[in-house]
């Protein structure tokens, strides 16, 4: 395959943006330290499963805007719905008609809860879920699955990471960790802290399947102990199933948070849940203490909700969930065969389900290694695949795109094998290694 070698404008962009924007982006996952040196500094446009950078290099997009673009870049039915909404007005002094339409359609689609509150980012709705839980139970502590690496940029979660600068130390006293798929760790936590646990939050699944009825056991224990059970579908929603991964696995939660792909890349997130909990954020029960839940000027602006409605309709009309699974199965099996053919099974592993899976990279000693991970990303990007370790097959990933990914993966494995045999990436990396997002020191 031809390799991409022109990065001049991208390098200039990266230098300039850090002068004006802290971190050089508005999401740390998009930062320069999360990509190899040859990654595009900026994306200027996208169409379907393809994107173009400042130097007019073309890439197949593997993770589709951190998995938020669930159908494809510039998908016309969604874009047209957004344009129509914009021309009719985006924000009003009173609720817009589309808010009721969106609420009805979303609740009917996800089949999770009686009420919904919309917002613009995931942290808003996960933090709202925590606040509701504390109000409902009268308790303070939040139990968090430690393997699930992001729930919110708010203090209650970030204090559990190495990036606790700027957060009062007292906040850490209200958060406890448990291990996903380890029910004994949940039982132990409840035994020690049950008197003050308001809620337990986790994703239904990251990349490891729930084992030994784990989700159902946790749900039952939460109900028994009077703890609000929160499932975060920010990533898994609209991927495992339109009704979410928790319904895919047949488990119910008290509160569920949604985002990323529900509006094909437009800004829309949601909190759904049981009426008796959600109504605490209402204003109809006179005489009760008021809970200030979510109150954001742009939380329900019309373009985001129009995008969400159009996205849901497109998913239903085109049976996109089933289609994405089929494409993912073809891609995952092909990549697994390539790994086997290169005899890299001890060093490369695909984890997750066909609808969303990730590549684990190990060094010559068999340990996870960011230098080796950087090398694989570098080689994929050089071959026109914008890759950060995740594969998210969508409606826009047609056979041409899948074939391109497979060929790039095969060639990247050849380079990776050379580095494994040499025991180091020193003669292969063109720049510094990527770094963990959550780290104590810059």
Q: Model-level pTM greater than 0.85?
A: yes
Each residue of 74-125: pLDDT tens digit?
999 999 999 999 999 999 999 999 999 999 999 999 999 999 999 999 999 9
CATH, domain range 8-74+319-422: 3.90.1150.10
Task: Indicate the pLDDT class of residue 193, thresholds 50, 70 and 90.
Answer: confident
- For the chain, the domains span 8-74+319-422, 91-300
Contact 229, 200 (CB under 8 A): yes
Could you please report the per-residue DSSP string of 358-399?
EEEEB-TTSSB-HHHHHHHHHHHHHTTEE-SSEE---TT--H
**91-300 adopts what CATH topology?**
3.40.640
The answer to whether 423 and 364 have CB atoms below 8 angstroms apart is yes
Q: How far apart are CA 138 and CA 45, in angstroms?
A: 48
CA-CA distances (angstroms) from residue 393 to 74, 110, 405? 16, 21, 11
Can you give the pLDDT at residue 192?
Answer: 87
**Are 47 and 53 spatial neighbours (Cβ–Cβ below 8 Å)?**
no
Work out the number of other CB atoms within 10 angstroms of the CB of residue 176.
19
Across 196-344, where does the E strand assignment appear? Answer: 197-202, 228-233, 255-258, 269-273
Tokens (6 digits) for 273: 């849940």
129-162 pLDDT tens trace? 999 999 999 999 999 999 998 999 999 999 999 9
pLDDT at 312: 99
The CA–CA distances, whole Å, from 307 to 29, 99, 124, 161 equal 24, 12, 19, 33
Q: Are the C-beta atoms of 23 and 31 separated by less than 8 Å?
A: yes
Please state, rounded to an integer, the average pLDDT across all residues of the chain: 97
What is the spatial distance between Cα 257 and Cα 240, in angstroms, rounded to a whole number? 15
Measured distance CA(232)–CA(125) in Å, rounded: 10
At residue 273, the 3 state secondary structure works out as strand
CATH fold match for the domains 8-74+319-422 and 91-300: no
Q: Would you state the pLDDT for residue 1?
A: 86
């Amino acid at each position: 395959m031809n390799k991409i070698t022109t990065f001049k404008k991208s390098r200039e962009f990266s230098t300039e943006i850090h002068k004006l924007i802290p971190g050089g982006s508005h999401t740390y996952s998009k930062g320069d330290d999360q990509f190899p040196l040859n990654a595009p500094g900026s994306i200027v446009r996208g169409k379907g499963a393809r994107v173009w950078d400042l130097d007019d290099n073309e890439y197949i997009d593997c993770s589709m805007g951190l998995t938020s673009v669930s159908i494809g870049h510039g998908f016309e039915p969604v874009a047209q719905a957004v344009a129509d909404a914009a021309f009719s007005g985006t924000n009003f002094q009173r609720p817009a008609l589309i808010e009721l339409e969106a609420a009805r359609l979303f609740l009917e689609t996800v089949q999770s809860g009686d009420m919904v509150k919309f917002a613009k980012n995931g942290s808003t709705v996960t933090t709202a879920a925590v606040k509701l839980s504390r109000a409902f139970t009268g308790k303070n502590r939040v139990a968090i699955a430690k393997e699930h690496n992001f729930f919110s940029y708010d203090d209650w979660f970030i204090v559990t990471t190495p990036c606790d600068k700027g957060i009062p130390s007292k906040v850490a006293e209200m958060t406890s960790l448990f291990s996903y798929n380890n029910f004994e760790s949940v039982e132990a936590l409840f035994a020690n802290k049950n008197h003050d646990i308001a809620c337990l939050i986790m994703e239904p699944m990251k990349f490891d399947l729930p084992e030994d009825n784990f989700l159902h056991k946790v749900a039952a224990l939460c109900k028994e102990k009077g703890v609000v059970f929160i499932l975060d579908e920010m990533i898994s929603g609209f991927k495992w199933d339109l009704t979410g991964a928790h319904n895919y696995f047949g488990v119910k939660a008290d509160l569920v948070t949604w985002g990323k792909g529900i509006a094909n890349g437009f800004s829309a997130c949601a909190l759904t849940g049981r009426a008796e909990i959600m109504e605490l954020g209402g204003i109809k029960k006179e005489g009760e203490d008021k809970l200030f839940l979510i109150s954001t000027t742009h939380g329900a602006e019309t373009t985001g909700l129009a995008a969400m409605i159009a996205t849901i309709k497109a998913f239903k009309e085109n049976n996109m969930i089933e289609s994405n699974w089929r494409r993912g199965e073809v891609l995952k099996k092909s990549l697994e065969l390539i790994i086997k053919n290169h005899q890299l099974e001890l060093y490369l592993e695909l984890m997750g389900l066909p609808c969303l899976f990730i590549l684990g990279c190990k060094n010559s000693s068999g340990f996870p290694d960011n230098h080796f991970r950087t090398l694989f990303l570098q080689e994929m990007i050089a071959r026109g695949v914008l890759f950060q370790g995740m594969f998210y097959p969508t409606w826009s990933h047609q056979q041409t795109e899948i074939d391109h990914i497979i060929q790039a993966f095969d060639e990247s494995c050849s380079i990776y094998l050379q580095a494994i045999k040499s025991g180091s990436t020193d003669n292969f990396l063109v720049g510094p290694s990527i770094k963990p997002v959550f780290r104590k020191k810059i």
